[in-house]
Chain A
Amino acid sequence: MAVGDLLLTGLMAVLLVGIIAALTRIENWRSYTPLAGGGTATGEDGAVLNREKPAGIIRWLTTVDHKDIGLLYGLYAIIAFAVGGIMATLIRVQLVVPGGAILGANAYNSILTSHGITMLFLFGTPIIAAFANYFIPLLIGADDMAFPRINAIAFWLLPPAALLIWAGFFLAPVTENMIEPAQTAWTMYTPLSAEQTNPGVDLMLLGLHLSGVAATMGAINFIATIFTERGDDVNWANLDIFSWTILTQSALILFAFPLLGSALVMLLMDRNLATTFFAVEGGGPLLWQHLFWFFGHPEVYILVLPPMGLVSLILPKFAGRKLFGFKFVVYSTLAIGVLSFGVWAHHMFSTGMDPRLRASFMAVSLAIAIPSAVKTFNWITTMWNGRLRLTSPMLFCIGFVSNFIIGGVTGVFLAAIPVDLVLHDTYYVVGHFHYIVMGAIAFAVFAGIYYWFPVFTGRMYQRTLGKAHFWLSMIGTNITFFAMLALGYLGMPRRYATYEFDGAIAPLAQVSTYHLLATTGAFILLVGQLIFIWNLLQSWLEGPKIEDGDPWNLERDGMLDKEWEWYDRKLETAITDGGEDETESALTDGGVPEGDASRSDDN
């Protein structure tokens, strides 16, 4: 048996090496520009060769170009979004009937856990890093990130992190359920997470730790880049709003993620080395909750601040007016950053902690609502009397504001101790934070993808599909998550695989109806996201090519930012690929026009 296993492993290794070797031979990876002079990026011409990236997949495996790494982050996050979305769909299908439609309790718990972790750590943080990597250096006039290689390492830690987090799903079938997916929920509360003997939990914890290391490396890089690599004409007074939010987010990551890492190591030691950090006779289970939420609440703002920055950047472009109260938005971003470290125990109001402590956390939680509300008023005021253009990115920005108001106001209720004690651990909380993570964060991400689609693809997306994506997402989000708010008021507890409770406890018929509504909304969302993926892929391959460096006509309002100026320069100086343009073909032989020889600010 052992020999057979060894042989099989060896064969797998040979197969994988073979696949990698074959992939490296594929030349059409968008990896080089064929040159009119007959050479290619991998050709003989040494003068050109030195300036090229390698061909094939090797380019993507070895790149330290911030734009390439941004695209890799984006691809990674979209795949994670698809995985997390499929998991969400399975959860909603399961809950169509009170007894559970398709999954056993263990499978449901596994999928629920992985859905949360996937969406927060493998989609949320990386998709923000995708935008930040691609656009921060362009926006601040830097050549690249401060530490390009660390940037690459930070990304390449993520694929193994995902494999570890999902390891149980791959290993359960081949180990006869000896290693199952983690069933701890994303909060990993002790004693449940400390006492589950399943090694899949250890793998998940290690994966999470790895993703935290990646996020921290990325954050250090962004801080260093924004502080030290700004162009001569970019200072603190005119730094763009997206860079401000990324700077604040990076500071939050720097202080929050190492703490998560420490807590994870402590939990791993409790599980494997019989330490008692979170045991009753040691630090106690509540210690985990304090450590986890000291990371966990800043994590909320780690996820939401950059999307707020995206909306603050994009929304004015289609309102025809500059962002109202730009500095209000900047200072309130910083305020959120600081205060986010003083509110963690509002997740723990019902744990029986001292009421005096609870009161202080309530005070800071109510205070932190103000900066978020200020931003909302700024966005609305920016649109007031503006010349609105309802393009897809603008629609998603408006959807963001709308959903953020509902998600935010429901959050203010939860910040009040008496309300929280009633609604804690119900679907109300699930509805509240999904309005934020799906209704706001994902909407801003979509806005960013559509807005910059021409920059990173050179093409335009299909407008009708973009609008269909928006309306299906908007309607789906509001049906699904509003139904969850109602379910919470009905007392439906979260995380349960079934809900066949006594009708005397709660109105079962109404609960079932709202679950059905939530599932219907989830399917509307699913259709919307399928359209999004289709639009993304088809438009990338076949969409109309962008000829103008200002596809959104931003110059008219004096709002052409640096990244579009860069894009315009790129279009103007692009090397012709077939010699159609006589004047440009001269560039293709490696010649440098006079006056430009010393320029090397290609981003």
Chain B
Amino acid sequence: MELFGFEKETLLDLTVNVIPLGIILFFIAAFAVVSPFGLDPVFSGLQFSLMISMFLLLAVLTYYAGRAVEDAERAEEEHATLDDPDGATELADDDESTEDDAELGSDDEGLPEA
């Protein structure tokens, strides 16, 4: 199932932000229907623009964050498949390579600044 171009897993992760979006949407609708203090062009305008702008900003940020994470995951998977077509990549390989990264010098002596 895809929605907005997201896979199901990502959509499930993004539900966490759908809840506050839903709450804001509920209040937008509620205040539109029930308006105990009446409508005023300035204050009602500010009232709705605050809620709508927060809704849009959160929706846009959630979309782009989800996009960035999903794209990174896809790239990671593709990379893993290319490196290791049998899918037999083991963490131990990475560990060994980091062990080889040992470099000269301790913290205290430092190295030339980059």
A573-B102, A573-B103 as given contacts; A354 in contact with B50, CB under 8 Å: no
Residues of B within 8 A of A107 (CB): none
Give the nearest-CB partner of B108 in chain A. Answer: A33
Contact with B along A561-600 (1 / 0, CB 8 A): 0000100011011110000000000010000110110011
User: Residue among B65, B66, B68, B75 with the most chain A CB within 10 A?
Assistant: B65
Indicate which residue in B14, B24, B48, B111 contacts A364 across the interface (CB closer than 8 Å). B24
CA distance A569 to B69 in the complex (A): 30
Q: Which of A359, A363, A593 contacts B24 (CB 8 A)?
A: A363
Closest CB of chain B to A49's CB: distance in Å? Answer: 11
Cβ–Cβ contact B103 & A602, under 8 A: yes
- Judging by beta carbons under 8 Å apart, are B61 and A338 in contact? yes
Asked if B110 and A364 sit within 8 Å, CB to CB, the answer is no
Q: Which residues of B contact A105 (CB under 8 A)?
A: none
Closest Cβ of chain A: how far from B36's Cβ, in Å? 8
Cβ of A368 under 8 Å from chain B: yes
- Inter-subunit contact B104/A335 (CB<8 Å): no
Q: Which residue of A lies closest to B75 (CB)?
A: A235
Closest to B23 in A: A367
Complex: A233 Cα to B93 Cα, angstroms: 13
Which residue, B43, B48, B91, has most C-beta atoms of chain A within 10 A? B43
Q: Is B85 an interface residue (CB 8 A)?
A: no
A148 close to B61 (CB less than 8 A): no
Q: How many A-B residue pairs have CB under 8 A?
A: 178
- Kindly state whether residue A327 has any CB partner on chain B within 8 Å: yes
Residues 4-20 of chain B, each 1 if its beta carbon lies under 8 Å from chain A, else 0:
00000000011011011
A67 touches B51 (CB 8 A): no
Interface size class of A (residues with CB under 8 A): 35 or more
Is A38 among interface residues, defined by CB-CB distance under 8 A?
A: no
Which of A65, A325, A573 has a CB less than 8 Å from the CB of B104? A573
Which of A50-58, A125-133, A197-205 is near enough to bind chain B? A50-58
Q: Which residues of A from 332 to 378 have beta carbons under 8 Å from B?
A: 332, 334-335, 337-339, 341-342, 354-357, 359-361, 363-364, 366-368, 370-371, 374
Pick the residue among A143, A327, A361, A565 that contacts B114 (CB under 8 A): A143
Contacts of A367 in B (CB 8 A): 20-21, 23-24, 27, 54
**In the complex, A64 has a CB within 8 A of chain B:** yes
* B62-114, CB < 8 A from A: 62, 65-66, 68-73, 75-76, 91, 94, 98-114
Counting CB contacts under 8 A, is A556 at the interface? no
B17–A332 touching, CB < 8 Å: yes
Residues of chain B within 8 A (CB-CB) of A574 are: 106
Cβ-neighbour of A65 out of B17, B48, B113 (below 8 A): B113
Query: With a CB–CB cut-off of 8 A, which chain B residues contact A354?
Result: 37, 40, 43
- Residue numbers in B under 8 Å from A64 (CB-CB): 113
> Which of B23, B40, B61, B111 has most chain A Cβ within 10 Å?
B111
Inter-chain contact A363/B43, CB cutoff 8 Å: no
Is A31 on the interface with B (CB-CB < 8 A)?
yes
Residues of chain B within 8 A of A558, CB atoms compared: 91
A364 in contact with B43 (CB, 8 Å): no
A residues less than 8 Å from B21 (CB atoms): 367
B110 near A331 (CB under 8 angstroms)?
no
B31-A360 in contact (CB<8A): yes
Contacts of A335 in B (CB 8 A): 16-17, 20, 58, 61-62
Which residues on the A side are within 8 Å of B108 (C-beta)?
Answer: 30-33
Contacting pair A368 B103 (CB below 8 A) = no
- CB contacts (< 8 Å) of A366 on chain B: these are 23, 27
Verify B57–A600 contact, CB threshold 8 A.
Answer: no
Q: Tell me the complex Cα distance, A432–B108, Å.
A: 43
Instruction: Tell me, in angstroms, the Cα distance from A593 to B16 when the chains sit together.
Output: 51
Cβ distance B89 to chain A, nearest Cβ, rounded Å? 12
> Could you say which residues of chain A place their CB within 8 Å of the CB of B44?
356
Kindly identify which residue among B13, B37, B73, B105 contacts A331, using a CB–CB cutoff of 8 Å: B13
Residues of A within 8 Å of B47, CB to CB, are 356-357, 359-360
Expressed in whole angstroms, the Cα–Cα distance for A360 and B58 within the complex equals 16
Smallest Cβ distance from A563 to chain B, in angstroms? 12
Q: Name the B residues within 8 Å of A240 (CB-CB).
A: none
Task: List A residues 212-240 near B (Cβ within 8 Å).
Answer: 233, 235-238
CB contact under 8 A between A363 and B109, given known A371-B16, A599-B103: no
A514 to chain B, nearest CB (A): 35
Are A357 and B13 within 8 A (Cβ)?
A: no
> Is B50's CB under 8 angstroms from A334's CB?
no
The answer on a CB contact under 8 Å between B106 and A363 is no
Q: With A and B bound together, what is the CA distance between A573 and B108 in angstroms?
A: 12
Residues of A within 8 A of B43 (CB): 354, 356-357
Question: Nearest residue in A to B30 (C-beta to C-beta)?
Answer: A363
A327 to B69, alpha carbons, bound, how many Å?
9
Residues of chain B contacted by A299 (CB below 8 angstroms): none
Cross-chain contact B104 with A599 (CB below 8 angstroms): yes
CA distance A357 to B43 in the complex (A): 6
Contact A600 B103 (CB under 8 A): yes
Q: Which of B62, B102, B110 contacts A334 (CB 8 A)?
A: B62
B35-61 interface code vs A (CB 8 A; 1 in, 0 out): 101001001101110110110011001
Known: A334-B61, A569-B103. Is A360-B109 also a contact (CB below 8 A)? Answer: no
Inter-chain contact A330/B103, CB cutoff 8 Å: no
Which residues of chain B are within 8 angstroms of A360 by Cβ–Cβ distance?
Answer: 27, 31, 46-48, 50-51
User: Cα distance A235–B104 when bound, in Å?
Assistant: 27
A332: which B residues are within 8 A, CB to CB? 16-17
Q: Name B residues whose Cβ lies closer than 8 Å to a Cβ of A.
A: 13-14, 16-17, 19-21, 23-24, 27-28, 31, 35, 37, 40, 43-44, 46-48, 50-51, 53-54, 57-58, 61-62, 65-66, 68-73, 75-76, 91, 94, 98-114
17 more contacts with CB within 8 A, not counting A371-B17, A572-B102, are A52-B109, A53-B109, A236-B69, A327-B69, A332-B17, A334-B17, A335-B20, A337-B61, A338-B58, A338-B61, A354-B37, A356-B31, A367-B24, A370-B23, A569-B99, A573-B104, A587-B104
